[in-house]
A and B are shown apart, each in its own frame.
Chain A
Amino acid sequence: MNNSLKQQRLISDLLVNGTLLLICLVWTIPTFGVFVSSFRTRDDITQTGWWTIFTNPTTLATLNLDNYSNVLTGKEYVYKSPSGEEKTEKGPNLSMNFINSLTVTIPATLIPILIAAFAAYGFAWMNFPGRKIFFVIVVALLVVPLQIALIPVLRDYTKLNLNGTFLAIWLAHTGFGLPLAIYLLFNYISQLPRDIIESAFIDGASHFTIFTKLIMPLSTPALASFGIFQFLWVWNDLLVALVFLGSKPEVSVLQQQLQNLVGTKGQDWHLLTAGAFVTMFVPLLVFFSLQRYFVRGLLAGSVKG
């Protein structure tokens, strides 16, 4: 009896872990394949599958960082075309797009946090005419698809001559991120203990002082959670960048450039694979170092139902 129970447990353990392992493999292999490919030579990528490094370990020696230096520096590289002649092509300069992506993403993350934190405090701890109706509007806007805004805002930008500027895309991302930001930060800030704020008031602190000296430091976990969200969302965004930054190469961000590579040089796998990982580097870094905050943010957001 006891023995058969043990056996049963063993089988179910095996079943659980086995299935889980299988799912994890399926989930990881596509990324892993591109990762391996990004170190292979141009010819190897187009002629043999990436799994060759396992079936034929001698090819391990050919792995190198050339693809990365090609996509990052925009220098020219030479390769043999199928017909045998040598061709020279200029690699894309992703390091420029990388800087652009940072220039877009950092303010487009910090500005909405700042504006939303002020607003969340206002909604939570100040009384003013219109408070309720304005907040209802914020809740209503939570699910409005940003597609609704593209045409009108684009027309405004054309009139204001803002198209293709960083300011334009910061404000757009701020606008699209604000409802969630206000909502999440309001949930957090309105739950802070009333006594702290009231005693600060009695000590003669102004709203502004309470906000900057008390609320902001206390809200760091909530600010960080939303910040990670917004950062990943802006960094990974393609649509808003396409619409408001346009195709000017000096402002285009990584996602646009990677999409260009897929479109125009879909066969240049060595550029695509390395480009994909250059694009993913920052999000993966953020993801691994701040995963706990990220998960916490997800859980907080899910309360909205």
Chain B
Amino acid sequence: MWLIFIWLRDSKASKPVIAVVAIIWGVGGVGLLFVISNWVVEQLPMKWMRFLQPYVFVGPALAILSWYLAIPTFRTLVLSLYDAAGVNFVGLDNYIFAFTDASMLESFRNNSLWLVVGTSMSVILGLLIAVLADRSKFETIAKSLIFLPMAISFVGAGVIWRFVYFYKPAGQQQIGLLNAIVTAFGGDPVGWLTVRPWNNFLLIIILIWLQTGFAMVLLSAALKGVPSELMEAARMDGATEIQIFFNIIIPYIQGTIVSVSTTILIATLKIFDIVFVMTNGLYGTEVMASQQYKQMFKFQHFGHGSAVAIVLLVAVIPVMVYNLKQFREREAF
């Protein structure tokens, strides 16, 4: 196995050949690991086999989870108390930096904006579209179109929206859609991505564009679960459609709204690519995850980078606690 790894790393063979060998080597290797370790355990006396076999099944998963998530959490916590290179203990200095530095404060402000505006707009629009589609004859195609951006990467979305926000000086023909509209109505073209603080909203629109489809799919499924007798009865009693929406539908799908919002909230908290591609954090658009990347790779400051990561972690702890509580209440385990 190791020899193949060395060969793969240093080989000059043609690209597709390497790719195929690498894929077979990687996936096959993991499969082989299970087969061999299980075979070894099955050769042991019954008592030992009984004891060890579960760990053949869950062991690899636990090992990788420990290495990649569980232990790094503590290591990052420790690193956040050390200096740039992770050598000297500096106490809470990195956190003081995180909560006082101007660019960090800016990214906290922006991140809150992302969380509030991005999440609420995605959910509200998702719900609106789900309700409309439910009453329309074009439900499937409309939902597909809204859902489509889910398959597009943040980088790809960045390219698409650069084309919308693109700016050319006044007098030239605009090739960005937004400026073309503005100038068609006789306005002056605007360098959208450089206008503080509104450029943040323009970046958030990209997130909304990507996430609304997700909210729509889940909310639409929940809407279908609202019993129609309930709504018919309300209509009989003379309730308007708007009353039905707020007094029957919303309470009925509340659980889904909460879980959709949480999922989008967590995704938004970690938002990185959109900012990195569109503005690289310039013009007052920095967010936490882009700050963390910058601290880590541009300034090579592991202490600062770790502190920001810990702040991100602390922000999701309420959700984690909620998940664990839900889990404990389930009787399946």
B73 to chain A, nearest CB (A): 5
Q: Do A153 and B27 touch across chains, with their CB atoms under 8 A apart? A: no
Instruction: Tell me which residues across on chain B come within 8 A of A49, comparing CB atoms.
Output: 173-177, 180
Given A122, A141, A165, A276, which contacts B159 in the complex, CB threshold below 8 Å?
A276
Query: Cβ of A53 < 8 Å from any Cβ of B?
Result: no
Residues of B within 8 A of A155 (CB): 86
Q: Mark A10-29, 1 if CB is under 8 A from B, else 0.
A: 00010011011101100111
Asked if A96 is at the interface (CB within 8 A of a chain B CB), the reply is: yes
Q: Which residues of A contact B79 (CB under 8 A)?
A: 151-152
Count residues of chain B with CB under 8 A from any CB of chain A: 119
A60 to B129, CA, bound (A): 34
Interface residues of B in 282-318 (CB under 8 A from A): 289, 292-293, 296-297, 302, 305-306, 308-310, 312-313, 316
Cβ-defined partner of B327 (8 Å) among A20, A24, A139, A147:
A139
User: How far apart are A5's CB and chain B's nearest CB, in angstroms?
Assistant: 13
Task: Write out, one digit per residue, whether chain B residues 104-145 have a CB within 8 A of any chain A CB (1) or not (0).
Answer: 000000000000000000000100110011011110001011
Pair A47/B173 contact, Cβ less than 8 Å? yes
Minimum CB–CB distance for A231 against chain B, Å = 10
Complex CA distance for A125 and B145, rounded to whole angstroms: 41
Contact pattern, B 83-94, Cβ under 8 Å of A = 1, otherwise 0: 000100000000
Chain B's closest residue to A172 (CB) is B68
- Contact A149/B270 with A49-B174, A103-B19, A304-B259 known, Cβ cut-off 8 Å: no
Give the top 6 A-B pairs by smallest Cβ distance, nearest first: A175-B68, A122-B57, A236-B153, A119-B61, A128-B54, A287-B151
- 9 residue pairs A–B, Cβ–Cβ below 8 Å: A13-B135, A23-B132, A50-B175, A135-B333, A139-B327, A151-B296, A236-B155, A259-B276, A286-B151
A→B interface (CB under 8 Å): 13, 16-17, 19-21, 23-24, 27-31, 33-34, 37, 45-51, 96, 99-100, 102-103, 106-107, 110-111, 114-116, 118-119, 121-123, 126-128, 131-132, 134-153, 155-156, 165-167, 170-172, 174-176, 178-179, 182, 190, 206-208, 211, 232, 235-239, 242-243, 255, 258-259, 262-263, 266, 269, 272-273, 275-276, 279-280, 283-284, 286-287, 291, 295, 298-299, 302, 304-305
Q: Which residues of B pack against A, CB within 8 Å?
A: 5, 8-9, 15-16, 18-19, 22-23, 26-27, 30-31, 34, 38, 42, 51, 53-58, 60-62, 64-65, 67-73, 75-76, 79, 86, 125, 128-129, 132-133, 135-138, 142, 144-156, 158-164, 173-177, 180, 209, 212, 214, 217-218, 221, 255-256, 258-260, 262-263, 266, 269-270, 272-273, 276-277, 280, 289, 292-293, 296-297, 302, 305-306, 308-310, 312-313, 316, 319-320, 322-324, 326-327, 332-333
